[in-house]
Amino acid sequence: MAKPVKVSSATFVCSVPDHTQGPKDRKPEYAFIGRSNVGKSSLVNMLTNNGKLAHVSSTPGKTRTLNYFLINESWYLVDLPGYGYARRSKEERGEFSQMMIEYFSQRESLTCVMVLVDARIEPQDSDLELIEWLGEEGIPFVIVFTKADLKLKSKTGTMIASFKKELLKNWEELPPLFYTSTEDKIGRDELLKYIEEVNKELKNGGKKDSNK
Ligand code: GTP
Ligand code: MG
């Protein structure tokens, strides 16, 4: 069996209201985004083997800033606010999406957006709209299915299949897809290996490339 990917250090760096206040050292950034409660913070903790790094909430919609974590002294993992949480006011939701649109389209060191999608539910318009927008803007992204717990395998299999079907209505090819469960510790190495590969390419002078 292949060795697990090592995360030798993972430290919280800062929590900022917009990207202009983020770190200025231009290390590659991987932004984790998804609907509120999709399991972003849990995934961050699983990737870094640190149960306490990101705040896992029982109240949805808690993460409201860009949270920067420095991994292995070489790249940033950015935990973003969740979208589509109905109990926030309209203005607040609008502000969040504006903040994220600016981050995605202006942040030079943004390397890849990891779009988290709950594998247990039907395809959601908000997820599909974000993916469509990222594609149109040529912003590199991958899809990370969350909560793909083993005990729900047949259900998540059906949901994932219908999500792919939705994507293929507008796309000729699917972007890279990852399947994760923090409950069953699934998908950690695959995701970290992908990030390592992209970082290697960047180091070798490769340009970040769009998925489309
Ligand atoms: P906000 O920051 O509040 O938007 O939430 P988040 O996307 O960071 O989600 P968080 O990691 O806080 O998890 C939300 C809920 O989902 C918690 O109750 C977690 O325990 C649960 N959860 C996270 N990952 C999994 C998983 O793989 N399987 C299952 N069954 N539950 C999970
Ligand atoms: Mg969170």
Q: Where are the domains of the chain?
A: 10-203
The answer to whether the CB of 18 falls within 8 A of the CB of 103 is: yes
Please report the pLDDT score of residue 192 as a whole number. Answer: 97
Please report the pLDDT score of residue 172 as a whole number. Answer: 92
The answer to whether the CB of 138 falls within 8 A of the CB of 209 is: no
Give the other-Cβ count within 10 Å of 43's Cβ.
Answer: 28
Please report the pLDDT score of residue 102 as a whole number. Answer: 92
Please report the pLDDT score of residue 1 as a whole number. Answer: 57
Listed range (57-66, 94-103, 107-116) with the worst mean pLDDT: 57-66
Residue matched to tokens 């729900």:
152
pLDDT at 211 over 60: no
Residue matched to tokens 């340009």:
207
pLDDT at 185 over 80: yes
User: Is any atom of ligand 1 closer than 6 Å to the C-beta of 208?
Assistant: no
Choose among 98, 46, 37, 121: nearest CA to 77.
46
Please report the pLDDT score of residue 55 as a whole number. Answer: 65
Please report the pLDDT score of residue 210 as a whole number. Answer: 47
110 forms beta bridges with 29
Choice from 42, 50, 65 to test ligand 1 binding pocket (greatest atom count within 8 A of CB): 42
Choice from 48, 57, 65 to test ligand 1 binding pocket (greatest atom count within 8 A of CB): 57
10-203: in CATH 3.40.50.300:
yes
pTM of the predicted structure, to 2 decimals: 0.90
The answer to whether the CB of 69 falls within 8 A of the CB of 11 is: yes
Q: Please tell me the distance from the alpha carbon of residue 174 to that of residue 165, in angstroms, as a whole number.
A: 10
Which numbered atom of ligand 1 lies nearest the CA of 57?
12
CA of 123 to the centre of ligand 2 (A): 21
- 89, two tokens: 């006011």
The whole-number average pLDDT for the span 88-94 is: 52
Q: Please tell me the distance from the alpha carbon of residue 55 to that of residue 69, in angstroms, as a whole number.
A: 12
pLDDT at 107 over 80: yes
